[in-house]
């Protein structure tokens, strides 16, 4: 399946790097500090969404009392402190290497902050595989549609030549808006039930990308 594309756009969080467990730990710390009910992994994957601010609101955070910028900043400060506890998903580096060997271009498109995205890609030895590494200029993960449009304009690919691989409804929305095909991986931040409602191909894990 991957071989028919000229370029593959990868999401980062929950697609290349497995930061789901850490994300659950950190949101539960914020909830427990405010005497709010913690989330199970299943709960998290059912409620998580982008923009992240909406997900906090659904959990019951009251931004009239405590602005999102403060709560979200606390989450991100702790994430930044612990981010290297996370590892790549099993087999993902081999897939990226294989795609490179096939002569297919690759980019990262993320709602993660640009500086840290570049830092982590370099840390895991992945920078060499990507012609573009594109992230936000802030820490609040409001979305990446505008970045996706800019990236597609730079790629200059025609219809059916670009594939976006992600793990969320937002990745599907971005792919649809920018004219890319989409595959979603259900081992990331949203439940397979949510992803399968979208009508695109959903795989259980990254390794299945080579089997389709």
Nearby residues of 93 by Cβ (< 8 Å), 6 or more positions away: 124, 125, 126
CA 109 vs CA 27, 34, 49, 160, 199: distances in Å? 24, 33, 17, 18, 22
Q: With a cut of 50, say whether residue 139 has pLDDT above it.
A: no
Question: pLDDT tens for residues 20-54?
Answer: 999 999 999 999 999 999 999 999 999 999 888 99
Which residue in 137, 99, 143 sits closest to 11, CA to CA?
143
The 3-state DSSP class for residue 48 equals: coil
CA distance 118 to 126: 10
Q: What is the pTM of this model?
A: 0.93
Mean pLDDT of 94-98: 96
Q: How much is the pLDDT for 138?
A: 52
The 3-state DSSP class for residue 162 equals: strand
Write down the CATH number for the domain with range 2-18+88-210.
Answer: 3.40.50.1000
CA distance 96 to 103: 11
Q: Measure CA 117 to chain center.
A: 11
Q: How much is the pLDDT for 159?
A: 83
| DSSP codes, 189-211 | SS-HHHHHTT-SEEESSGGGGGT
Q: How much is the pLDDT for 134?
A: 94
Helices 169-178 + 145-155 axis angle, to 10:
40
State yes or no: cis peptide before 51, omega within 30 of 0.
yes
Q: With a cut of 80, say whether residue 141 has pLDDT above it.
A: no
Question: pLDDT tens for residues 144-194?
Answer: 888 999 999 999 888 889 999 999 999 999 999 999 999 999 999 999 999
Express as a percent the part of the chain with pLDDT over 90. Answer: 83
DSSP letter assigned to residue 126: -
Q: With a cut of 80, say whether residue 137 has pLDDT above it.
A: no
């Amino acid at each position: 399946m991957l071989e028919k594309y000229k370029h593959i756009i990868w999401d980062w969080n929950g697609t290349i790097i497995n930061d789901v467990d850490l994300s659950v730990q950190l949101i539960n710390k914020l909830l427990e500090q405010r005497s709010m009910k913690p989330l199970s992994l299943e709960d998290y994957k059912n409620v998580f969404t982008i923009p992240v601010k909406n997900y906090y609101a659904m959990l019951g955070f009251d931004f009239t009392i405590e602005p999102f910028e403060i709560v979200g900043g606390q989450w991100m400060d702790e994430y930044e402190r612990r981010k290297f506890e996370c590892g790549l998903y099993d087999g993902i580096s081999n897939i990226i290497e294989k795609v490179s060997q096939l002569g297919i271009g690759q980019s990262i498109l993320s709602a993660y902050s640009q500086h840290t995205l570049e830092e982590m890609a370099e840390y895991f030895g992945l920078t060499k595989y990507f012609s573009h590494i594109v992230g936000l200029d802030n820490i609040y993960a409001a979305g990446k549609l505008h970045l996706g449009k800019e990236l597609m304009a730079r790629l200059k690919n025609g219809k059916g030549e670009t594939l976006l691989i992600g793990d969320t409804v937002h990745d599907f929305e971005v792919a649809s808006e920018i004219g890319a095909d989409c595959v979603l991986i259900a081992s990331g931040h949203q439940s397979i039930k949510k992803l399968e409602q979208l009508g695109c191909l959903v795989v259980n894990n990254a390794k299945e990308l080579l089997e389709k």
